[in-house]
Structure 1
Amino acid sequence: MKVMVLLLDKASPSETDHGLLDPFVSLAEFSVSPPGGFRDHPHRGFESVTYMLQGGIIHQDFNGHKGTIYEGDVQWTTAGRGIVHSEMPAEEINNGLQLWINLPSTYKMIEPKNLEISSSEIPIAEEDGVEVKVIAGESMGVQSPFYTKTPIMFLDFTLEPRAQTHQTVPASWTAFAYIIEGDEGVFSSSDSSTVQANNVVVFGTGDEVSVWNTSSSRPLRFLLIAGEPIGESVVQHGPFVMNSQAEIDMTIGDYRNGRNGFEMAKYWRSE
């Protein structure tokens, strides 16, 4: 099992500075095969978006939810006040990306929920050598019907050789790109250096992101992710994302003692 964290502030129990990429906590690329997997584990205080690039993942949680997502599918998990779940490989080779999105303090203790979205439900727009899958937000006149509690944009772009795109982003939002495939993408400035696959590009202020595929033979595929900053203090301790160390201490106690949303943690085990 391989997990590569692409975007992550310090994961210590002390208060950390997430201001640069607020409201995002982490973006991780994972590769997992049987008998590996992400066995029963807890979360509180954020949402996650899992996007499969190859294979599939079987999800189970202590509220009785069970579902499987395959290549091109998405699962949104709102951990809220507490969830214990497992994420296990569905096929021999399974690769994907998981984005953690912070929740504002007013939503951190909401009821947890899960939603699987099949690739056939994700709207697609195409024009002039550019294809975009609109998982969240809007692009090229197409609006996603899905959303997270914290407003975000989650777009999967593929640019044919020599194609370019210009995506509007709210000026106050945090924005970054993760390159999935292609080594000759130029982001936001015509005199910028090209960016290789498996790298993150963090954008500065502005209301538009421009991307050129300068390759004459290879497509460029990347995720463009943007979100509205929350502007609150963040303390992350492993699978818990709260606003203070006191809340982290309370969360650890709640999980260990099976209370305040973790009542089923004492009894539930995944299949």
Structure 2
Amino acid sequence: MSRGDEHENPSFAKPRYVAKKVLAKPQFEGDGAIVRRSIGRSELRNLDPFLMLDEFSVSAPAGFPDHPHRGFETVTYMLEGEFTHQDFAGHKGTIRAGDLQWMTAGRGIIHSEMPAAEGVQKGLQLWINLSSKDKMIEPRYQELQSKDVSRVEKDGVDVRIIAGEAFGVRSPVYTRTPTMYLDYTLKPGAHVRQRIPDSWNSFVYVIEGEGVFGNPNSPASSSHYVLVLGAGDGLDAWNRSTKPLRFVLLGGQPLNEPIVQYGPFVMNTQDEIEQTIEDYHYCRNGFENAKQWKSQPQLH
């Protein structure tokens, strides 16, 4: 399928069907922030290489004040409003609706993520695990403004290509852990077909509306549900309702490594976690800048 036009491909050899369905229920995180956690809750602890997916809804003064990370990547994708990020290495930026920040925490980051506008700020934050060989790399950022996110509109389907490829168009984002991240909006009556590498784990998160995924005879799934997909080479999705359907489709190559998580630290062994806690406490091995740093307030 060199042109990537999935509409001309009659069917998948083995379509992916929904293997598990979990409702993301609201919970408090950070400082007064409300998130709907889908991956990372007791019913779905992780989905290798994905560690967590939160749909956040935050109004100042709530937010995510200064906190650390080590051993994975955080991907923040804004749906509505503005968030400002600051870290202890002097990096600072504001992302707005449609903007993307792909942060590789690596060996250590301490940062804050706080509302930068009045009203409700909404978005998705995804945590992607790093392999043992990448957990202690230097931190890095990839940031894309909405206008620079690749987009294709065809046959009632609008897709924003955050990572990976759709309709033959590829995102410029480099994924250290091979990942696809596609934001689909389907008009009423639209159908989309998207290939997914056979060996990858994948899931759908419904943002708005309701859709039918995988099996054409299955019941529709509505907003705030995460749908874990079974094995196969691709996904079919239909919007049979009278309103737009918006969902993200994510897939990633499993790392098949042990996961030991202690809050915002994700390593491979308990010894590495204990070392990380010590490094953080004593401001060393990647956390040196923590000694003097404190984020600046955003909204007054």
Q: Corresponding residue for 1:97?
A: 124
1:255 matched to 2:287? The reply is no
1:270 matched to 2:295? The reply is yes
Note the C-alpha offset of 1:232: 0.2
Q: Corresponding residue for 2:185?
A: 158
Q: Corresponding residue for 1:52?
A: 78
Note the C-alpha offset of 1:237: 0.6
* 1:46 partner letter: F
- Change over 3 Å in CA distance of 1:17–1:75 after alignment to 2: closer
Note the C-alpha offset of 1:37: 1.2
In 2, Cα distance between equivalents of 1:221 and 1:3: 18
1:138-169 C-alpha deviation (Å, 9 max, x unpaired) = 00111111122101000000111011000000
1:228 matched to 2:260? The reply is no
Q: CA contact under 8 A between 2:48 and 2:255: conserved in structure 1?
A: yes
Note the C-alpha offset of 1:17: 7.0
Note the C-alpha offset of 1:4: 2.0
1:125 matched to 2:152? The reply is yes
Aligned partner of residue 7 in structure 1, secondary structure: coil
Matches within 5 A, 1:183-222: 183=210, 185-215=211-241, 217-222=242-247
Q: Corresponding residue for 1:5?
A: 37
Q: Corresponding residue for 2:205?
A: 178
Identity of aligned residues (%): 56
Q: CA contact under 8 A between 1:9 and 1:25: conserved in structure 2?
A: no
In 1, Cα distance between equivalents of 2:57 and 2:189: 31
Note the C-alpha offset of 1:9: 5.2
Note the C-alpha offset of 1:74: 0.5
In 1, Cα distance between equivalents of 2:225 and 2:193: 20
Taking only aligned residues, the RMSD between alpha carbons, in angstroms, comes to 1.4
In 1, Cα distance between equivalents of 2:190 and 2:206: 16
Note the C-alpha offset of 1:235: 0.7
Note the C-alpha offset of 1:115: 2.5
Matches within 5 A, 1:30-45: 30-45=56-71
Q: CA contact under 8 A between 2:213 and 2:237: conserved in structure 1?
A: yes
- The number of equivalent residue pairs is 263
Matches within 5 A, 1:13-92: 18=46, 21-92=47-118
1:246 alignment partner, one of 252, 271, 286: 271
In 2, Cα distance between equivalents of 1:31 and 1:118: 20
Q: CA contact under 8 A between 1:67 and 1:116: conserved in structure 2?
A: no
Q: CA contact under 8 A between 2:45 and 2:51: conserved in structure 1?
A: no
Post-superposition, which runs of at least 4 consecutive aligned residues in structure 1 deviate over 4 A? none
Aligned partner of residue 38 in structure 2, secondary structure: strand
5+ unaligned residues in a row in structure 2: which ranges?
Answer: 1-32
Q: CA contact under 8 A between 1:24 and 1:100: conserved in structure 2?
A: yes
Q: Corresponding residue for 1:13?
A: none
In 2, Cα distance between equivalents of 1:210 and 1:74: 26
In 2, Cα distance between equivalents of 1:131 and 1:96: 19
1:4-40 C-alpha deviation (Å, 9 max, x unpaired) = 2111155xxxxx974xx10000000111111111111
1:143 matched to 2:143? The reply is no
TM-score (norm 1): 0.95
TM-score (norm 2): 0.86
In 1, Cα distance between equivalents of 2:111 and 2:249: 28
1:86-123 C-alpha deviation (Å, 9 max, x unpaired) = 00101122011100000000000000122321000101
Note the C-alpha offset of 1:64: 0.6
